[in-house]
Amino acid sequence: MGAVSLTDIVKRFGSFTAVQRMSMDIPEGSFVTLLGPSGCGKTTTLRMIAGLIDPSEGEITIKGKRVNDVPIHKRNLGLVFQNYALFPHKTIAQNVAFGLKYRDLSKADMDRKVRDVLDLVQLPHVADRYPKQLSGGQQQRIALARAIVIEPDVLLLDEPLSALDANLREDMRVELKRIQHRIGITTVFVTHDQSEALAMSDRVVVMSDGRIEQVGTPEDVYNTPASEFVSRFLGISNILSATSKGANAGGLSLELPVFGQITVPKEKAPHVEGAGPVKLVIRAEKLLLTDLSAPRDERAAFDGVVEAVDYQGQAARYFVRVGDQQLQAINMIDERPFQEGETVSVRFRPRDCAALPGAPS
Ligand code: ATP
């Protein structure tokens, strides 16, 4: 059993079901991210773990103990939300010490804990300042310090970085992960930002419409999506219609219009059984465009025509036509980007593709 377990959790608001029979185990010490688009039920799930709202059905356990009827302040959780809500008229040290007020600690112990946690978030020098004297990123670190000073069993973070500007957000990702690693605390993180989820998590739970679509490591969900939704949500994917001819020695044999026959390794098609319609997923980053004269390697190669170029500095996103299909490729720019109208070689490795059952939607 995990540090946090949900079993058959349902949450209804009136006639609307926000979370539809969700079960998951969050291993002790892990960093697990609930990832999905707005409205998919991430926050509702987190709020049920926190005890801010009650599930309509199902059981929640924390460290093996059923907590459905345990009020929030007795669950021993650390919470950080997007609006970090520090008390403006208290000093930073007083803000951080707030959670310790009801613990039976001497003043000396309390001061030591506050000092230690301010060291941990690398802001030992701000103890006597007030929140408005700190930057947004510093305030967010203090909100984190306030949550972890009580030594909670689980840290719950709801889009804690989304109020920060882009550069700071990236710095804080690294910082948050460092702190989580250092203290080894079980963490549940909510975000709709796929790059945040991939960068920070041990495990990602991809959600849509109140349901879990896939649970896996960042590499699993990125490289072997379990559904079309997951492959689209985790970035730009080309989803091609194909027909499975069944297994052969090298993996799963597929027939595609234009591209012909390719074989995808079995582990890249874990849900495809036997012959029939399948979708072949090729990530835009895995589709390589080269000059027609570039030497061949193990990649399958087809001629295509660049129809549009979205220049992104170091890289470009190309819209390229191969036969009657328009595909997207994101490639680093070597010397110059390919131009609109240019004929290029479009190449990919079958092992960089994933196959899913059924025809594309
Ligand atoms: P976001 O990233 O936008 O916060 P989310 O995935 O966290 O999205 P939730 O906040 O969990 O989504 O909401 C899930 C669904 O439940 C939404 O359709 C929302 O409108 C609905 N919902 C949430 N809270 C309530 C409530 N108190 N009453 C009615 N419906 C609610």
ipTM: 0.95
Q: List pLDDT tens digits, range 142-166.
A: 999 999 999 999 999 999 888 788 8
Number of domains in the chain: 2
Q: Do 196 and 268 fall into the same domain?
A: no
Same domain, 194 and 243: no
**Ligand 1 atom with minimal separation from the 53 CA:** 27
Confidence bin at 85 (pLDDT 50/70/90):
confident
Measured in Å, residue 341 CA sits from the centre of ligand 1 at 45
Q: Does residue 253 sit in the same domain as residue 198?
A: no
Q: Kindly give the distance from the C-alpha atom of residue 19 to the centroid of ligand 1, in angstroms, as a whole number.
A: 9
pLDDT in the model for residue 67: 96
Distance from residue 130's CA to the centre of ligand 1 (Å): 33
How many of the other CB atoms lie within 10 Å of CB of 104?
6
Ligand 1 and 43: CB distance under 6 A: yes
Q: What is the CA radius of gyration of the chain?
A: 24
Residues 75 and 183 reside in one and the same domain = yes
* CATH number for the domain that contains residue 51: 3.40.50.300
Atom of ligand 1 lying closest to residue 11 CA = 16
Inter-residue contact 67 to 30 (CB < 8 Å): no
- Residue 24 predicted with pLDDT over 70: yes
The mean per-residue pLDDT over the stretch 71-95 comes to 89
Residues 140 and 278 in one domain: no
Kindly state the tokens that stand for 237.
Answer: 């994917």
Ligand 1 in contact with 36 (CB < 6 A)? yes
**CB contact at 8 A, 310 and 331:** no
Q: How much distance in Å is there from the Cα of 303 to the middle of ligand 1?
A: 46
Strand 237-248 and strand 65-66: the pairing is unpaired
Average pLDDT for the chain: 92
Task: Report whether residue 44 contacts ligand 1, using a CB cutoff of 6 Å.
Answer: yes
Shared domain for 266 and 350, answered yes or no, is: yes
Q: From the alpha carbon of 192, which atom of ligand 1 is closest?
A: 2
Residue 289 — left, alpha, or beta (φ > 0 → left; ψ -120 to 50 → alpha)? beta
> For residue 158, is it within any domain?
yes
How much is the average pLDDT of 52-76? 94
Nearest atom, ligand 1, residue 16 CA: 30
> Is residue 67 located within the same domain as residue 188?
yes
Secondary structure (3-state) at 72:
helix
Say how far apart CA 15 and CA 1 lie, in whole Å: 32
Structural domain boundaries, residue 60: 4-217
- Residue 40 Cβ inside 6 Å of ligand 1? The answer reads yes
Q: What is the CATH number of the domain that holds 346?
A: 2.40.50.100
Question: Same domain for 210 and 250?
Answer: no
Q: Is the CB of 11 under 6 A from ligand 1?
A: no
Sorting pLDDT into bands at 50, 70 and 90, what band is 275?
Answer: confident
Is the distance from CB of 156 to CB of 80 less than 8 angstroms? yes
Beta-strand pair 343-348/300-311: antiparallel
Q: Looking at ligand 1, which atom is closest to the CA of residue 190?
A: 7
Domain boundary (217, 244, 271) is at 217
